Chains A and B, each alone.
Chain A
Amino acid sequence: MTILAKLIPLFPLLGFIILGLGYRSIPKRIASILGPGTVFLSFIFSVFLLFNIHHSLMNIRYFSWISFGNLSISFDFLIDPLSILMMLVITGVGLLIHVYSIGYMSHDEGFNRFFAYTNLFVFFMLILVMGSNYAVMFIGWEGVGLCSYLLIGFWFKNQQFNNAAKKAFIMNRIGDLGFLLGMFLIFTSFRSFNYVTVFDLAKTMPSGSGTITAITLLLFIGAVGKSAQIPLYTWLPDAMAGPTPVSALIHAATMVTAGVYMVARSGVLYVLAPATMEIMGLTAMATMILAAAIAIFQNDIKKVLAYSTISQLGYMFLALSVGAFTGTMFHLMTHAFFKALLFLGAGSVIHALEGEQDIRKMGGLKNVLPKTYWTFLVGTLAIAGLPPLSGFFSKDEILAGVFSSSQTMWIIAVAVTMMTAFYMFRLLFLTFSGNYRGTHPQSLKIHESPAVMTIPLLILAFLAFFGGFLNIPELMGGSGVLKEFLSPVFADAVKLNQVPYLLVPEKREWYNIALVIILVVLAILAAYRKFVIKLRTGSIETEAGSFIERLAANKFYIDELYDAIFVKPALKISGALHEFVEVRFIDRVVNGAGTMIVRFSNIIRYLQAGHVGMYMFFMIIGILLILFFNILF
């Protein structure tokens, strides 16, 4: 068992090393076995681990990493239901995306490099979720950031893509500094980075203590960066510059959920910090609404999905902020299914249209890309939250949790659900319904993607459809398999949870469910009216109309704002420091002092002629020779 868990991250690492060293000599055929193959092995081993874990918690010693004195950071793994769930999502969805990439990247020169990077990504992501302490998590945390950087800028000839890659890395690093400082505070307070030790000690502390509040806030800054929440979210839409499978794997299904995982993992700390929970809830709500509003007005198929991801991540943080840990992990999992599906579907469309991403130039693809269409439809229904698809169950669980602690929050969450249904169906209709609006001769050549791409789509569609059955709530007569599975992990956090909790009568719950479904259907109908019926007669509006619409279409000018208040001033300060402080002040003082000495000193004048150095050279040689003879005789 121990060996098994130890091997899981090593397969993709090995894949990375082989593909990385032989990226020029390994034929594509072998790379397309090796790349997905290593992830497949990790997946199989993870499944095996799932069925063979007898204790709820297993600590695995790897090696001692940084240790001296009484500081000891070991490279250890913690295998428990939470990490197993994450491992399954990462390797399972990761495997499907790897297989899909064989088709998607088949014409790319950087085929081997692509798989080397994605394997490295899977390795770091596994380290992130398997680590038994914050330091190991941080290795994975920064490592996935690196892979994200490398893959966003995969086509590095294009400087705009490189800008996006750099932006992602730097914004993540801002969060990472928060994470680091949080870790430092954990260490100074608990003298350890180990989850088990830290949580055991934290449990004895009073709720709302300054230390725990500060720790959780600092860690949350890290989560905000990695999981693209306000104010560090603007890198994620830009990250769509990377190849689409990357967007599916890293920027939808796995890496961006790392922040959610981290907060869930640190659940014990968070429930002891009500202030942090409140800030997290507010951040989540603001992010959800903002991102959903922007998504409605985006015309790039991937950008819509990117904003949708931000919004859905907000959903997860909202759930965390009321202590609905199982609901969060449930939604994380279903979201991985349907969002990966949607991205891969979008990739299939882009692939078919040879790079076109503007949905205003699509339309009517239903008939030419039937497999893509049907699977995309499943994904759209799932994210909209219609029963009995997976998104319905996971959203319902979150909404129920939110409702019992705050009705205001619930109303906002429901509003965002409606917006989600609206923009997703807008996307679906504009892409697949109506007539083809493209101008290129593309329409003649449009073809469905090969099986290597559509089979992963079908499997993901299956998961997005039925994935919800893993955790049917008791209300509907289910047994909550996932809840039971995860319960030992969250037992302490749930017990300590301070968020006021309202017991909701069953009837009321049913009402709520029905209400949400009706509202979602209304939103879908609105989208249908606007983007199917109206389009039959009129043409598509290319410009957003009202002030608010224009604002949203321009992403509320947040990028421009950041540019004006951070980027440009930093460059200006840099120039000013160099010119005025460095050259004209410090250096001038130094030179002035130097000149004074030169003026008053004869010795230095010789130095200028270059003689003194030579004298000194021989002088020191002389001293050393004296030294030497002194020893000998």
Chain B
Amino acid sequence: MLTLTLIVFPLLVAIGLFFIKDGKWAGNLALATALIEFGISVAALVQYFLFCHCLLLFHLEWLADYGISLKFGIDGLSMLLILLTTFLIPIIIYSSLGQKIQRSSSFYSLIILMQAGLIGVFTAFDGMMFYIFWELTLIPAYFIAAYWGGENRIRITLKFFAYTFSGSLLMLIAIIYLYFRTPLPHSFDHIWLYASNLNPGEQLWIFLAFFIAFAIKVPVFPFHTWQPDTYVTAPYSGSMLLGGLMSKMGLFGMIRWMIPITYTELTRTGGFFVIFPVIGIVYASLIALRQDDLKRLVAYSSVAHLGLVAAGAMTLNAIAMQGAMIQMVSHGINIVGLFILVQYIEARTKTRSIAELGGIALKAPRLAVFFMIILLGSIALPLTDGFVGEFLILLGMFKYNAVFAAVSGLTIIFGAVYMLWMYQRVMLGNTKAATEQISDLNWKEMIPLIAIVIMVIWIGVAPGMFMKLAENGVGQVIGIIR
């Protein structure tokens, strides 16, 4: 029942919020909802570990004639991503509370709706449900960026919408096609879809449809060009939702749907499709070097890091996949941390341009310390969250193809180069006009950062619980592949 509650509760609140008058308490109500939701997810976690490490399933026949049923479940992989979602949403809401937001009730309604959609995506075990929730998340993401965004928001968000939407349509076609290839009577149930009967030609097309849909969402090179612009133009909450959570939908889709259904295509093509994310790692890292806009730099770094995750998952190696799942969580935490910091900096200095910043550490040492710790997580220093995932991905990849691992491993070097160079120009050195009067963080501002830093170190030092959850997820995928 918890599974259903996790989806329905935010959905109802979102609808309620939508029709409520604007005001300060819209944000507070949203925050309270998100915190309750976090509590429910922790309860689900407890239940998961108490009862047999297995699926917490909600299953109800619905449109039986069409083989569509309300099948939602929580396994290890779902649990990881639900925890990530319910952990990050309160942080995202909290960090937006200080700002003046027009039509705030709609804004928060959309964030909560997004949460419902995300959890629906992460728990759906029915192909049609997966698709419905997948599209459901696009609506709030689109409106948040289009209505509350910055410069050129209409043009950029249209591109974002059209791009991701066309990906989704491909996926819809693939799912419906698969449905007709399932054994009689047809069904959208994941087990049936996994068992669908495809000849090699069909297999390839289905794979491509899924791959493109998910690659756009992550995004994987070369389908990423919507992403930097959208991250830049979206309000901070939007960038956090997109970078921290929505990108995980693509990766999740690969692991839950694409790989179990079309893994033979991945083995048959012998790593050809792994090349795209691997190229993306180097390509995006190189581009990140020269970016002046902090948000854009974070966006490109995200393409690089998520490329590694996608590549890891697509190697079909158990260790790499395990790492991919851990890294999905770590990346979400780190990127939201980075966006919060950039938000604080921009709020104080009115600029995100690296060239105009400098010497912040002199005036705001606390900000500098939080920035450094989250940066270390992002460049995968051992004992931070980034290391565990990237280490396992690279280790698994090395078994799969040593050259890919060596090239992907360049992220270890490049990540340090662009991040430290950025840190040096923004935080170190002497102050400039924009940063002369910068104030340090106060306690209220530090709360979300403390939560993030705790996670950075927790996952880095004692990843046991997360590893167990991921192991369950990996076990299922590998079980199907074998």
Other 15 A-B pairs with CB < 8 A, given A162-B429, A173-B413: A66-B467, A142-B382, A143-B381, A157-B362, A157-B430, A177-B406, A180-B394, A180-B409, A571-B289, A574-B289, A594-B159, A594-B163, A613-B143, A616-B135, A620-B139
> Can you show 8 pairs from A to B with CB atoms below 8 A apart?
A66-B388, A146-B376, A157-B362, A574-B286, A610-B154, A617-B139, A617-B143, A627-B62
Q: Report how far A590 CA is from B156 CA in the complex, Å.
A: 13
B174 near A: Cβ within 8 Å?
no
Q: Report how far A25 CA is from B461 CA in the complex, Å.
A: 28
* A20 shortest CB reach to chain B, Å: 8
The stretch of B34-42, B44-52, B415-423 that contacts the partner chain? B415-423
The stretch of A46-54, A181-189, A287-295, A315-323 that contacts the partner chain? A181-189
581-632 of chain A: CB within 8 A of chain B: 581-582, 586-587, 590-591, 594, 597-598, 604, 607-608, 610, 613, 616-617, 620-621, 623-624, 627-628, 630-631
* B363 shortest CB reach to chain A, Å: 12
CB-based contact B417/A170 at 8 Å: yes
Nearest B-chain residue to A166, judged by Cβ: B420
Interface of B is mostly: helix
CB-based contact B382/A181 at 8 Å: no
Nearest B-chain residue to A145, judged by Cβ: B381
Q: Report how far A158 CA is from B424 CA in the complex, Å.
A: 10
A546 near B: Cβ within 8 Å?
no
Q: Report how far A174 CA is from B417 CA in the complex, Å.
A: 11
Residues on the A chain within 8 Å of B286, using CB = 570, 573-574, 577
Residues on the B chain within 8 Å of A623, using CB = 132
Interface of A is mostly: helix
> Number of B interface residues, CB 8 Å?
72
Q: Report how far A570 CA is from B225 CA in the complex, Å.
A: 21
Q: Report how far A99 CA is from B133 CA in the complex, Å.
A: 62
Residues on the A chain within 8 Å of B338, using CB = none
* B453 shortest CB reach to chain A, Å: 12
Nearest A-chain residue to B62, judged by Cβ: A630
CB-based contact B322/A174 at 8 Å: no
CB-based contact B416/A169 at 8 Å: yes
Residues on the B chain within 8 Å of A142, using CB = 381-382
CB-based contact B467/A180 at 8 Å: no
CB-based contact B413/A616 at 8 Å: no
Q: Report how far A410 CA is from B298 CA in the complex, Å.
A: 53
Q: Report how far A571 CA is from B399 CA in the complex, Å.
A: 32
* B114 shortest CB reach to chain A, Å: 12
Q: Which of A173, A575, A610, A631 contacts B70 (CB 8 A)?
A: A631
* A605 shortest CB reach to chain B, Å: 11
* A86 shortest CB reach to chain B, Å: 19
B462 near A: Cβ within 8 Å?
yes
Q: Report how far A24 CA is from B440 CA in the complex, Å.
A: 13
Residues on the A chain within 8 Å of B329, using CB = none
Residues on the B chain within 8 Å of A397, using CB = none
B222 near A: Cβ within 8 Å?
yes
* B61 shortest CB reach to chain A, Å: 10
B405 near A: Cβ within 8 Å?
yes
CB-based contact A613/B161 at 8 Å: yes
Q: Report how far A58 CA is from B461 CA in the complex, Å.
A: 23
Residues on the B chain within 8 Å of A586, using CB = 222, 225
CB-based contact A184/B163 at 8 Å: no
CB-based contact A188/B398 at 8 Å: yes
B32 near A: Cβ within 8 Å?
no
Q: A67-B467, A571-B289 are in contact. Are A181 and B406 (CB under 8 A)?
A: yes
B342 near A: Cβ within 8 Å?
no
B166 near A: Cβ within 8 Å?
yes
Q: Which of A67, A574, A613 contacts B142 (CB 8 A)?
A: A613
A439 near B: Cβ within 8 Å?
no
CB-based contact B135/A169 at 8 Å: no
Q: A162-B428, A577-B283 are in contact. Are A181 and B409 (CB under 8 A)?
A: yes
Residues on the A chain within 8 Å of B428, using CB = 153, 156-157, 159, 162
Q: Which of A65, A156, A170, A578 contacts B413 (CB 8 A)?
A: A170
Nearest A-chain residue to B61, judged by Cβ: A630
A396 near B: Cβ within 8 Å?
no
A556 near B: Cβ within 8 Å?
no
Nearest A-chain residue to B398, judged by Cβ: A184
Residues on the A chain within 8 Å of B176, using CB = none
Q: Report how far A156 CA is from B429 CA in the complex, Å.
A: 6
CB-based contact B412/A176 at 8 Å: yes
* A214 shortest CB reach to chain B, Å: 9
Q: Report how far A462 CA is from B231 CA in the complex, Å.
A: 62
Chain A: number of interface residues, binned into ranges: 35 or more
* B441 shortest CB reach to chain A, Å: 13
CB-based contact B162/A604 at 8 Å: yes
Q: Report how far A587 CA is from B225 CA in the complex, Å.
A: 6
A494 near B: Cβ within 8 Å?
no
B192 near A: Cβ within 8 Å?
no
A537 near B: Cβ within 8 Å?
no
CB-based contact B163/A590 at 8 Å: yes
119-157 of chain A: CB within 8 A of chain B: 138-139, 142-143, 146, 149, 153, 156-157
Nearest B-chain residue to A73, judged by Cβ: B391
Q: Report how far A567 CA is from B83 CA in the complex, Å.
A: 41
Residues on the B chain within 8 Å of A577, using CB = 283, 286-287
Q: A607-B162, A620-B132 are in contact. Are A159 and B429 (CB under 8 A)?
A: yes
* B398 shortest CB reach to chain A, Å: 4
Residues on the A chain within 8 Å of B464, using CB = 64, 67
Residues on the B chain within 8 Å of A176, using CB = 412
Annotate B1-32 by CB proximity to A: 1 below 8 A, 0 otherwise: 00000001001000100000000000000000
A68 near B: Cβ within 8 Å?
yes
B383 near A: Cβ within 8 Å?
yes
B316 near A: Cβ within 8 Å?
no
B275 near A: Cβ within 8 Å?
no
129-159 of chain B: CB within 8 A of chain A: 132, 135-136, 139, 142-143, 146, 154, 158-159
CB-based contact A624/B395 at 8 Å: no
Nearest A-chain residue to B319, judged by Cβ: A71
Q: Report how far A153 CA is from B461 CA in the complex, Å.
A: 26
A69 near B: Cβ within 8 Å?
yes
CB-based contact B410/A177 at 8 Å: yes
Residues on the B chain within 8 Å of A149, using CB = 420
Q: A68-B467, A68-B471, A157-B359 are in contact. Are A590 and B226 (CB under 8 A)?
A: yes
CB-based contact B424/A590 at 8 Å: no
Residues on the A chain within 8 Å of B399, using CB = 184, 188
Q: Report how far A176 CA is from B390 CA in the complex, Å.
A: 14
A63 near B: Cβ within 8 Å?
yes
Nearest B-chain residue to A610, judged by Cβ: B146
B103 near A: Cβ within 8 Å?
no
Q: A170-B413, A184-B394, A578-B287 are in contact. Are A143 and B471 (CB under 8 A)?
A: no
CB-based contact B70/A627 at 8 Å: yes
* A107 shortest CB reach to chain B, Å: 18
CB-based contact A181/B398 at 8 Å: yes
Annotate B447-482 by CB proximity to A: 1 below 8 A, 0 otherwise: 000000000000001111001101100100000000
Residues on the A chain within 8 Å of B278, using CB = none
B60 near A: Cβ within 8 Å?
yes
B361 near A: Cβ within 8 Å?
yes
